[in-house]
Amino acid sequence: MAATGTVLVVDDDPAICVVVGEALRRQGHKVKTAGSIRERAALMDSFTPDVLITDVMLPDGDGLEGVADIIADRPALSVIILSAQNTLNTAIRATEKGAFEYLPKPFDLNELTRAVSDALGTRQAENGEVEEGEGALPHDGLPLVGRSPAMQEVYRTIARVLSNDLSILVLGESGTGKELVAEAIHSLGQRRTKPFVAINMAAIPRELIEAELFGYEKGAFTGAHARTAGKFEQAQGGTLFLDEIGDMPMEAQTRLLRVLQSGEVTTVGGSKPVRVNVRIIAATNKHLPQLIEENRFRQDLYYRLNVVPISLPALRERREDVILLARHFLERAAQEGLPRKTLADDATQLLMVYHWPGNVRELQNMMQRLAVLSRENVITGEILRNMLPLEAVPADYAAPADHLAHAVRDWARRQLGVGIGQPNRNLHDDLLAVIEPILLQEVLATVDGNQIRAAGLLGINRNTLRKKLTDYGLDPLQLRLID
């Protein structure tokens, strides 16, 4: 059985307290939250947590101060430090204070829930409570992976809507995770014990949308053999996810608006309205204001749905998440029993340069394909290139060193072709005369003309650098100005 315990979360950002608190509660932990050192101290008088998660920058001081004393008082307590000051210094300080784990902000919720499970597992193992082989704790944290600033913004908004029923409009290209966000809001929110019902407007014939949404009476149309409840009734008490709302026909929009205003649904062919209580989350990859202008979407419905917008960034706009996601999908495949695969450096490079028109869905499919089909356990750039559709590799893609190698080969062939057989060629020095000044210029410009630092970066001594500058006629002071 997975270890559960008591956790105190200290962070002055209420959104973080809510999201972290909910994720941990879902795993069966008992959680309390505090927003300052003072509140932390007050709570710790009456509540004995197994794990303390604390931010460093708190409104009334440094969250790390006092941690060593707390640990001295309660040796069984595990402390996890969160910090937005992602410096080595903070990490070192956290370790010196005896923290069990240090997580730089923005952090991945899965990583945090895993750290809590690990802390509890270690603690119980030390106390002899865990039987052999039971140490690995499953972590079914939040399904959303990503730690880019854009995703942190998404997490914050999700946290703010969990305790209310405001309508939400999720915007983003296909495959960015709109449905996943809707599911997360439902499963973490106050309606989680009730149904989550999804309907995709683009996947249903236009003439059937109203019957699907609002239900129909027996005999309402050919084939309507019995009264059938629509998605609204099916979602009673829970959440209704209206996917691809931009594809909803105008007539259905009018009817939807009426339902949202009145809170009552009347089936197609029926006359007796039924009261419904559902939270609406709509999603679209279309630009609704444009559709409004073209009279294809009702403005009043737009306002009704767009109470809280959540914009999901395209994957190419948050490249820092690509590798995290790729590893997540490979790990998931491994947990499903497929061979465990890792990514070689040149494979990660390739994943980072690709523009992902199909967003996270495309990345997920690609990783699943690799997990199933590749015979190698380490995925190299070569394997990736062979397995990807041709258009997956941009035509101009090459690692920077490949470009240079190509240019040098080209240069050498030209030089050898022109005047071949001439004695006393000095190709080595000629090549250096082409590339060396460029290297010197770039390095000096980066360090603002500072020759000591430039020599350090180049790995040559300062006198050698000065001599080269003179030989090439380069003025370091002017190089400061190079952009």
Q: What residue ranges bind ligand ATP (CB under 6 A)? A: 143-146, 172, 174-180, 243, 285, 325, 360-361, 364
Nearer to ligand ATP, 202 or 432 (CB): 202
User: Cβ 332 to ligand ATP, closest distance in Å?
Assistant: 9
Report which DSSP code applies to 224: -
Label each residue of 277-331 as H, E or C. CCEEEEEECCCHHHHHHCCCCCHHHHHHHCCEEEECCCHHHCHHHHHHHHHHHHH
Nearer to ligand ATP, 119 or 326 (CB): 326
Task: Retrieve residue 406's tokens.
Answer: 């190509």
How near is the Cβ of 385 to ligand ATP at its closest, in Å?
A: 23
Query: Is 97 in contact with 79 (CB distance < 8 Å)?
Result: yes
Question: Residue 50 or residue 243: which is nearer to ligand ATP going by CB?
Answer: 243
Cβ-based neighbours of 255, under 8 Å, separated by 6 or more: 210, 213, 214
Rounded-to-integer distance, Cα 243 and Cα 236, Å: 18
Min CB(254)–ligand ATP separation in Å: 24
Residue number with CB closer to ligand ATP (172 or 476) = 172
Q: Smallest distance from the beta carbon of 329 to ligand ATP, in angstroms?
A: 8
- Residue placing its CB nearer to ligand ATP in the complex, 40 or 279: 279
Q: Give 180: exposed, middle or buried? Use CB within 10 Å, 0-12, 13-18, 19+.
A: middle
CB of 483 to ligand ATP, least distance (A): 37
Q: How far is CA 396 from CA 104, 344, 391, 392, 402, in A?
A: 35, 21, 11, 12, 11
**Whole-number Å distance between alpha carbons of 199 and 153:** 26
Contact call for residues 23 and 53 (beta carbons, < 8 A): no
For 140, phi and psi rounded to 5 degrees? -105, 55
As measured in angstroms, the least distance from the Cβ of 82 to ligand ATP is: 20
Tokens of 115: 């750290």
Q: With respect to ligand ATP, which residue has the nearer C-beta, 145 or 162?
A: 145
Residue 211 beta carbon to ligand ATP: minimum distance, rounded to whole angstroms? 22
Taking each helix axis from N to C end, the angle separating 178-188 and 149-161, rounded to the nearest 10 degrees, works out to 40
If the CB atoms of residues 192 and 327 are measured against ligand ATP, the closer one turns out to be 327
Shortest Å, Cβ 149 to ligand ATP? 14
Residues 6+ apart with CB under 8 A from 75: none
Closest residue to bound ligand ATP by CB: 177
Structure tokens at 367: 């990783």
Least distance in angstroms from the C-beta of 367 to ligand ATP? 11
Nearer Cβ to ligand ATP, position 232 or 329? Answer: 329
Q: What value, to the nearest 5°, has the Cα angle with vertex 283 and ends 277 and 287?
A: 135
Nearest CA among 35, 36, 43 for reference residue 15: 35
> What beta strand segments (E) does 66-212 contain?
78-83, 101-104, 168-171, 196-200
β-strand 101-104 against 78-83: which pairing, if any?
Answer: parallel
**Residue 462 neighbours by CB distance under 10 Å:** 13
Q: Which residue's CB is nearer to ligand ATP, number 63 or number 177?
A: 177
Picking from 260, 263, 257, the residue whose alpha carbon sits closest to that of residue 298 is 257
**What minimum distance in Å lies between the beta carbon of 183 and ligand ATP?**
8
> By C-beta, is 108 or 233 nearer to ligand ATP?
108
